[in-house]
Amino acid sequence: MNCKQRIGERIYWTSVNDRRKQLFENIWPLPNGVSYNSYLIRDEKCALMDTVESGSDRSYADWVSESLDGRPLDYLIIHHMELDHSGEIENLVQRYPDVKIVGNCKTFRVLEAYFGKRDNLIEVKDGDTLSLGYHNLKFVFTPWVHWPETMMTFDQTDGVLFSGDAFGMFGALDGGVYDDQTDFAFYEDEMRRYYSNIVGKYSPMVQKALAKLRDYPIRTICPLHGLVWRTDPCKVIGLYDRWSSYQGEDGVVVIYASMYGNTAQMADYIARRIAEAGVKKVRVHDVSKTHISYLINDIWRYKGVVLGSCAYNLQMFPLMENLTRELLHMGVKERLLGIFGTYSWNGGGVKNLNAFAEEIGWEVVAPAAEIMGHPEPGKEAACDALAAAMAARLLG
């Protein structure tokens, strides 16, 4: 059932709340679901902004028809070809065979790969405009935010930015559509988890996109996932600016890998000492129990990162190795690093974490704390030094 929500006098919104999907892109957990947004401008010419995932809502095509109110669909503007936004293209073309598909040259390469050759294509370039009558649209290319073909559309008439996947979030919409209709604190963590895992690798390109948008008088932001920002669009732009420039909060995430509890004890000890030194934001995770997307989310959130691993076949624990490999792949920058671990008969965990530290280039706040066997009293000096150094760097 559609709520027939309007973003403006001539701009219509619909969203599919998908609470059944358990994994986004078959990898990221969705405990609160996810939404797919689509927008229609009904003017002298009518333009649809993207579609939704195929089969996610049987009433989607009916919403398009009802919103058109007997008018033809003149344009389908594609901002991002990923299938959670392009899944209904084929059905729409069948229903509206004269619709013109608007995109860039890279859009059409992916479109053909998914849906075969299409007629009625309108290729646009960065800065091109399209008049619908009252609304005048300007196309803003934002490559690698987060695919090579991604772009945005700025409605110069009403100041509405159709932003594609940028400024989106995990989580279905629980009633509220706009930023002023919700308690954003409920959504912020899932927005950061979405950014850090889906878009974060391309943070330098996000910075370039934000620089292009700086001169646009944006009054409303309409992303393809999550809330529509009509009251305080500067807030979400500011969040993206902070995250894409790797600005972390003054806190610490401690992540450990432990087989028999010894490294886990070190993790709790170090976290306690950091808190006693005055750092209030401290989070501790077991790499074997917490999904990697939440680990990456907290690493993106906090300046301080403390990683600990037991030795495992002369290496670090496999799941910790997976985390470090992902961090290298994503190119996370500007973090403070502490390292700790345990071993029984030969090292491996700390040795390989030290190698990771050299490769990623983060500032190591203190020598690694490594303990053979059980972390009993009398072995804690290096842990104390690590905790004190981390707290000093964060609070100094």
**Boundaries of every domain in the chain:** 5-244, 250-395
Q: CATH code for 5-244?
A: 3.60.15.10
pLDDT confidence tier of residue 359, bands split at 50, 70 and 90: very high
Q: What is the C-alpha to C-alpha distance for residues 390 and 33, in angstroms, rounded to an integer?
A: 36
Give the pLDDT confidence score for residue 1 in this predicted structure. 43
Q: What is the C-alpha to C-alpha distance for residues 99 and 35, in angstroms, rounded to an integer?
A: 25
Q: What digits encode the pLDDT tens for the residues 130-189?
A: 999 999 999 999 999 999 999 999 999 999 999 999 999 999 999 889 999 999 988 999
Q: What digits encode the pLDDT tens for the residues 242-290?
A: 999 999 999 999 999 999 999 999 999 999 999 999 999 999 999 999 9
CB 239 within 8 A of CB 175: no
- Phi first, then psi, for residue 394 (nearest 5°) are -80, -35
Q: What is the DSSP letter of 72?
A: -
Centroid of chain to Cα 180: 21
Give the pLDDT confidence score for residue 254 in this predicted structure. 98
Q: What digits encode the pLDDT tens for the residues 96-140?
A: 999 999 999 999 999 999 999 989 999 999 999 999 999 999 999
Residue by residue, DSSP assigns 274-334 as HHHTT---EEEEETTTS-HHHHHHHHHHEEEEEEEEEEETTEE-HHHHHHHHHHHHHT--S
Residue 105's Cβ-count burial label (10 Å; 0-12, 13-18, 19+) is: exposed
Asked whether the predicted pLDDT for residue 294 surpasses 60, the reply is yes
Sheet strand arrangement including 160-162:
129-131, 136-141, 151-155, 160-162, 220-222
Q: What is the C-alpha to C-alpha distance for residues 68 and 98, in angstroms, rounded to an integer?
A: 15
Q: What is the C-alpha to C-alpha distance for residues 143 and 125, in angstroms, rounded to an integer?
A: 12
Instruction: Please indicate, yes or no, whether the overall pTM of this predicted structure exceeds 0.85.
Output: yes
Domains 5-244 and 250-395 share a fold: no
Tokens of 56: 């996610």
CB 15 within 8 A of CB 36: yes
Which residues, 6+ apart, have CB-to-CB distance to 184 below 8 Å?
227, 235
Q: Is 384 in a helix, a strand, or coil?
A: helix
Answer whether the bond into residue 146 is a cis peptide, omega within 30°.
Answer: yes
Tokens of 271: 């976290």
Which residues, 6+ apart, have CB-to-CB distance to 373 below 8 Å?
262, 342, 344
Q: Of 19, 64, 114, whose CA–CA distance to 36 is shortest?
A: 19
Amino acid at 393: R
Q: What digits encode the pLDDT tens for the residues 35-56?
A: 999 999 999 999 999 999 887 6
Q: How do beta strands 34-42 and 100-103 pair? A: unpaired
CB 269 within 8 A of CB 300: no
First to last CA, the chain: 55
Contacts of 323-329 with C-beta under 8 Å, sequence gap 24+, read 323/255, 323/287, 323/292, 323/295, 323/296, 324/353, 324/356, 324/360, 326/292, 326/296, 327/296, 327/299, 327/356, 327/360, 328/356, 328/359, 328/360, 329/201
Sheet strand arrangement including 34-42:
5-6, 11-18, 34-42, 46-49, 75-77, 100-103, 121-123
Helix, strand, coil percentages for the chain (3-state, nearest 5)? 35, 25, 40
Q: CATH classification of 250-395 is 3.30.2020.10, yes or no?
A: no
Q: Is 150 in a helix, a strand, or coil?
A: coil
Q: What digits encode the pLDDT tens for the residues 187-210?
A: 999 999 999 999 999 999 999 999
238-270 as b/e: b if 16+ CB within 10 A:
ebbbebbeeebeebbbbbbbbeeebbbbbbebb
Asked whether the predicted pLDDT for residue 2 surpasses 70, the reply is no
Rg (Cα) of the chain, in Å, rounded?
A: 24
